[in-house]
Amino acid sequence: MSSPVVFPFKSNILLDRKSSRHLYLQLCDQIIGYIKSGKIAPSTKLPGSRKLSEDLSIHRKTVIATYDELMSQGWIESIPARGTFVSKDLPIISPKKLKETSTIDSLKNTSGFEFRKRHHLVRKGIETIQASLKIDDGVPDHRLAPIEDIAKIYRNITKKTYHQHLLNYGDTYGNIELRRALVIYLNQTRGLKITEDNVLITRGSQMGIYLASQLLLNDRKTIIAGNTNYMTADNTFTEAGGIIKRVSVDEYGMNTQEIESICKQQPIHAVYVTSHHHHPTTVTLSAERRMHLLDIAHKYNLAIVEDDYDYDFHYNNAPILPLASNDHHGNVVYIGGFTKIIAPALRIGYFIAPKDMIDEAARLRRILDRQGDTLLEQTLARMIHNGDVQRHSNKVRRIYKARRDLFCTLLREKLGDFFDFKTPKGGMAVWVQLKKPYHWDIVIAEALKQDIAFNPEWRRYDNDNSGHNGIRIGFAALNEKEIIAFIDKMILVMKIIKVKPTE
Ligand SMILES: Cc1ncc(COP(=O)(O)O)c(C=O)c1O
């Protein structure tokens, strides 16, 4: 192999200013050439954009455009606070040929200005993977959504002239009919004791998590979360400037003794808890720990951010009432929504808290999203009033229970040698650990060959690197035929991997 490229690139890069090819594309071509030829090895640190632009006597924006293009093609990666590196895992397929692009065209892809980029929020996701069966981590089956009912009511509302005002700017807190309907619905079904002053309508639970984080976690305040935890919530806390402290999670949920010990040692502002079914492991927070957590919150003046994302799906017995139903001192911010009962695209959720917090959350929400979809909110209010939501929730609960039972029975019978799991009492996913010496990376790669896509970011809930070998497998969005197809293909996958388990 010829000698490696020495940084700075000055003497290695030749840019032709007279060429019709834009400078940043010339620079891309040459860096890719060096990477492909092995002259620049994987993981090599690249010079900063300022340094390289000075070395090559070109504008810094040209270098930034080059790095962005290389990053989007997967040749290089940016590691926050460390710099830009040649990717460890280089693209397997050769990159699409950079087309001859005019300066005007290139502007469409590359901004001529700097802006803040959040590389830590880049997600690989499963969307772009081609496979006939995609395995999610527990989402509802959108095919069951009562779309006809929704459309009928929506149409009806828009027809009535006295509803015309709903097309205007409205209340940042959300449609008043829906807020009132929610007061009755949540007080009846979850034992809350709220009035409409305690309700802010959001666009799904995620907006609630965001608002709570922004209000609670400024100035590097600390929030306690489980190890492991729902990654998007973790990202939202960090984005708000908060620090996350972890406590362990066992079969009774988050360890509240650990929470109290931390509270004794340092100021804590909040605890994030998915009490009904811990995300990702699906366990329910025990009654004893619920009481303990509420005591801790009162004693140390902290907020409990209770994310009750899948309250409606509990199969073995009645759902357990949320912490919010026992909150006598205004410590709980209760977050939920209709995205799981009805459909993820129906972006309606609620943020329930003491009035002073609701008022502040509404002010903050106003600068992000002036108001929600008032007509859809009105539609949902009607659906709650006339019992459609409850009927639909009962219907899908029965379907998901049957799917959970089939999925867990087959997984245990046919693949029990490879996987450890407990049948979840509720929710839409099973937490499945691979037995030693199997590894999800290998299983996922082989599964893809059999046309089954798992999310390549299966470790995403392990933000503290505990090194578990677990994955959430969603069963709710798979019908009977799909569950059987999944199990059959996984039997094949495990046969191909052909390693005998040691335990
Ligand atoms: C634990 C948890 N919280 C919140 C959300 C966000 O839900 P929504 O779609 O209502 O924003 C999800 C979505 O999957 C979730 O799993």
Question: Does residue 33 form part of some domain?
Answer: yes
User: Where does the pLDDT of residue 177 fall: very low under 50, low under 70, confident under 90, or very high at 90 and above?
Assistant: very high
Distance 245 CA to ligand 1 centre (A): 21
Q: Is residue 154 part of a domain?
A: no
What's 199's domain CATH number? 3.40.640.10
Whose tokens are 């977050």? That residue is: 335
* Residue 279, ligand 1, Cβ within 6 A: yes
Which among 202, 207, 230, 457 is the best mutation to test ligand 1's pocket, defined by most ligand atoms within 8 Å of the CB? 230
Give the count of domains, the chain: 3
With a cut of 80, say whether residue 91 has pLDDT above it.
Answer: no
Residue 128 lies in a domain: no
pLDDT at 5: 59
| pLDDT tens digits, 259-283 | 999 999 999 999 999 999 999 999 9
In this structure, are 372 and 431 located in the same domain? no
Task: State the average pLDDT over residues 3-24.
Answer: 75
Mean pLDDT, all residues of the chain: 91
Residues 68 and 29 in one domain: yes
Choosing from 121, 148, 169, the residue where a domain stops is 121
Percentage of residues in the chain having pLDDT higher than 70: 94
> Residues 83, 105: one domain?
yes
CA distance 146 to 140: 13
Mutation pick for ligand 1 pocket among 205, 210, 273, 312 (CB with most ligand atoms within 8 Å): 205
Residue 147 lies in a domain: no
Q: Do the Cβ atoms of 135 and 430 come closer than 8 Å?
A: no
For the stretch 300-334, pLDDT in tens is 999 999 999 999 999 988 888 999 999 999 999 99
Confidence at residue 414, expressed as pLDDT on a 0 to 100 scale: 97
Per-residue CA distances from 410 to 21, 425, 482 (Å): 58, 17, 12
- Domain final residue, candidates 360, 388, 416: 388
| CATH number of the domain encompassing residue 55 | 1.10.10.10
Q: For the chain, give me the number of helices (H) and strands (E)?
A: 15, 16
For residues 284 and 277, give the distance between their C-alpha atoms in angstroms, rounded to a whole number: 5
pLDDT of residue 22: 86
pLDDT score at 2: 47
Check pLDDT > 90 for residue 465. no
- Per-residue HEC secondary structure of 181-203 comes to HHHHHHHHHHCCCCCHHHEEEEC
**Are 256 and 113 within one domain?**
no
According to the model, what pLDDT value does residue 371 have? 95
At 231, phi and psi to the nearest 5? -65, -40
What proportion of the chain, given as a percentage, has pLDDT over 90? Answer: 68
Looking at the fold, whether 57 and 103 belong to one and the same domain comes out as: yes
Of the two residues 345 and 40, the one the predictor is more confident about is 345
Asked if 331 and 444 touch (Cβ cutoff 8 Å), the reply is no
pLDDT (tens digit, 9 = 90+) per residue, 154-170?
999 999 888 889 999 99
Claim to verify: residue 349 and residue 455 sit in the same structural domain: no
Q: Distance, CA 229 to ligand 1 centroid (Å)?
A: 12
Residue 40 — pLDDT band, cuts 50, 70, 90?
confident
Contacts of 411 (CB under 8 A, 6+ apart): 419, 421, 430, 432, 487
Testing ligand 1's pocket by substitution, the residue of 228, 284, 309 carrying the most ligand atoms inside 8 A of its CB is 309
Indicate whether 311 belongs to any domain: yes
For residues 356 and 471, membership in a common domain is answered with no
Domain that holds residue 74: 9-121
Tens digit of each residue's pLDDT (9 = 90 or more) over 207-263? 999 999 999 999 999 999 999 999 999 999 999 999 999 999 999 999 999 999 999
Q: Which of 371, 388, 405 is the last residue of a domain?
A: 388
CATH number for the domain spanning 400: value is 3.90.1150.10
In a domain, 383, yes or no: yes
Q: Which helix (H) or strand (E) holds 244?
A: strand 243-250
So what's the pLDDT on residue 468? Answer: 84
pLDDT tens for 100-144 read 555 555 557 788 889 999 888 888 778 888 999 999 999 999 999
Question: Are residues 429 and 346 located together in one domain of the fold?
Answer: no
On whether both 112 and 187 belong to a single domain, the answer is no
Q: Which atom of ligand 1 is nearest to the CA of 344?
A: 9
| 4: in domain | no
pLDDT at 364: 98
If asked whether residues 79 and 174 sit together in one domain, one would say no
Q: Does 368 fall in a domain? A: yes
